Structure 1
Amino acid sequence: MSEGATPRAIVVRDLRVLVTAGASGIGRAIAQAFAAGGAHVHITDVDEAAVADTVSQIPGLSATAGDASSPQDADRAAADVGARFGGLDVLVNNVGVAGPTGVIDSLSDGDVERTIDINLKSHFYFLNRCVPLLRGSTRNPGVVAMSSVAGRLGYGNRTPYAATKWAIVGLVKSLAVELGPDGVRANAILPGVVEGPRMDRVIAARAAAEGAGFDAVRDSYLGKISLRRMVQAEDVANLALFLSSDLARNITGQAISVDGNVEYL
C-alpha cells in the first residue's frame, strides 16, 4: 500500500449468497455476517425449527428447508435461489457432521456412509447445480467450502470425518483449476476447535471413547493449540467474507486455517 493510502474495507453489499447448513453454528454466523454487510442471503438447513428461528432473527434472510445430502433437496434450493436472486455470486458449502468416534474396525457402515453423504456428496450436489449460476456472475464469484483442521492433520478415531475434510481440500484445489478460466474462484476454510455446543458433543464423545473426563479432554484440545484458546464462529465468518470480497479476487485454490495454529490432533 502506498504511503497515505486508505485501507480498503471488506465489501459484500448486494452479493447473492447461498449458505448450506446456515441455521446454526458456523453457517448461521456466516449468514448473519453477510446479511449485516448488505448481502442477499439464502440458507438451507435440515432443521426446520432452526430455519424458522434464523429467518425470524436475521432481516431479509430467505431459506429452503431440506437435507443438503439429498439431490432432490439440492434441486429445490438451487431453484429457489435462481428464482429469488436471478443468479448467484457466492456458494458457501458449509454443511457437515462430526461423524462417528471410534477405531476403524468398530465403525458401522451406516455411520460411515452418512458422514460421506453429508460432508462430501452434498458439496458435489450443490456445486453441480450452482456453478452455472456462478459462471453468470460479474461480481468476482467464488465457492467457499468448509473443511477442517482435520483436513490437514491426521485424526485418530475420527477417520470418516477426517477423510471427508481432506477430500474437500482436494476438491477446491481441483475446482480452482477447472473454474479459473470462467473467473470463478474456489477456496477452503479449515476451522480449528470452534467453541460451542457441537464441539462440546465431540469432546463428550471422545471422552466416552477414551474413558476420560470431559474437562480433561477439553484441556487436552487446548493444549494442542498454540494460542491456547478455541476460535469463535465469527472468526470463521470473517474469513468467509474476506474470501468473497474483491480484496480476495486473486485468491483461489487455497486451504486457509482459522485455528489458533492447532499443532496436532
Structure 2
Amino acid sequence: MSGDFATQVAVVTGGGKGIGRIIALALAREGADVLVVGRDAAALEETCAAIRTLGQRGIAVAADVTQPEQVARLGATIDAECAGQVDVLVTAAGTRDTQQATVDALDLAQFDAVIQGNLNGTLLPVRCVLPFMKARRQGKIVAISGVFGLKGQPGHAAGCSSKWAVEGLVRVLAREMGPYNINVNAVCPGYVEGPRADASLERMAAERGTLAQERRQALEAATALGRLSTADDVANAALFLASARARNITGRDLIVDAGWML
C-alpha cells in the first residue's frame, strides 16, 4: 500500500456492489476512510466490513442517489462522522440501459429512468459534497461514465444520452470548481468483466442467435489488446484521477476499454 490517500475521506456511490465496491476497497487499501453510499443496506455493510479489515473506517450511508431527500443523509453523515471533511468523491452508481430499442420505439418511462439514474445519480452527490470541498478549497471528483458517453451506439439512446450528459456536467464542473482547487474528471470504461457484462453478452447472443462465448470473442477481437477490462482496471484509473498525481488534470476523460474506441 502506497498510502496515497492516508488521512483522507472518500465517498463512493454505488459502493455496495460491482465497480463501486472495488473502488471503495482500493481507496481503503491506499489509506482512506470511505463512506459507501447505495440502496442495498446489506451490501453496503459487507463492503464496510471489508474496509474495516483493511484498518480503515467504513461508513455505510443507505440512500437512493437520485432522490434529493435521501442524498441529504450523506451530507449529514459527513458532518457528524467526518467533521465536514471529504477529499474524494467517486460516483459509481448508475442505471443500465437494457431497452435495445431504436429512438422511435423507446419506452419513455424507461428512458427517463436511465436519465435520472445516470445524470441525477451523479449530479446530486456532487452537489452534496461541493460545500465541504469548497470550504476546504480542495477535492477530487471522479465520475464513472462510459465509452457510450463518447460515441453513438444504436439501440442505446438512453444510455448514450445520459452518459453524454454526465460528460457535459464534468466539463462544466471543472470550469466552475477550478478556482476552489477541485479537480473533476471522468473514467469511461468499455465492457467490464462481471455479472452485468455477462448478462449483456447473453442478451446480444440471444438476439443474434449465437452463443455468448462467440459474442465475447467478437468483443475481445474488436479491442487493440484483445481482452475486456476488469473492475480493477477501472478502479486503478479512478484512483489515479483522485490522487495528487493528477493535480493538473481536470475536465478530462480517462478511457479504460483495452483500445476498443481506437
* Structure 2 unaligned spans of 5+: none
Q: Which runs of 5+ in 1 are unaligned?
A: 1-8
TM (norm. structure 2) is 0.92
Q: Give the match for residue 121 of structure 2.
A: 122
- The code of the aligned residue for 2:65 comes to A
Give the aligned partner of residue 83 of structure 1. 80
What is the deviation of 1:213?
2.6
State TM-score, norm by structure 1.
0.91
Does the aligned pair in 1 maintain the 2:13–2:37 contact within 8 Å? yes
Contact 2:173/2:184 (CA < 8 Å) preserved in 1?
yes
Rounded Cα–Cα distance in structure 2 between residues aligned with 1:164 and 1:55: 29
Post-superposition shift, 1:100? 2.2
Q: CA deviation at 1:103?
A: 2.1
- Aligned ranges 1:61-72 → 2 under 5 Å: 61-72=58-69
Specify the code of the residue in structure 2 equivalent to 1:51: L
Indicate if the aligned counterparts of 1:78 and 1:130 stay in contact, CA closer than 8 A. yes
Answer whether contact 1:142 1:185 (CA < 8 A) is retained: yes
Aligned AA (1:136): A
Change (3 A) 1:211 1:79: farther
How far residue 257 of structure 1 moved from its aligned partner, in angstroms, is 0.5
What secondary structure is seen at the aligned counterpart in 1 of 2:61? strand
Q: 1:192 aligns with which of 186, 190, 193?
A: 190
Root-mean-square deviation (CA, aligned residues, Å) is: 1.6
Matching of residues 1-265 of structure 1 within 5 Å: 11-59=4-52, 60-86=57-83, 87-104=85-102, 105-137=104-136, 140-263=138-261
Residue pair 2:25, 2:50 contacting (<8 A) in 1 also:
no
CA contact (8 A) 1:17 1:91 kept: yes
Q: Deviations over 1:114-172 (max 9, x none)?
A: 1111111121111222111111235x411100111111122111221111111111111
Paired with 1:80 and 1:23, the residues of 2 have a C-alpha distance of: 17
> Quick one: percent identity of the two aligned structures?
35
Deviation at 1:262, TM superposition (A): 0.9
Deviation at 1:72, TM superposition (A): 1.3
1:42 aligned counterpart, secondary structure: strand
SS of the residue corresponding to residue 136 of structure 2 reads: coil
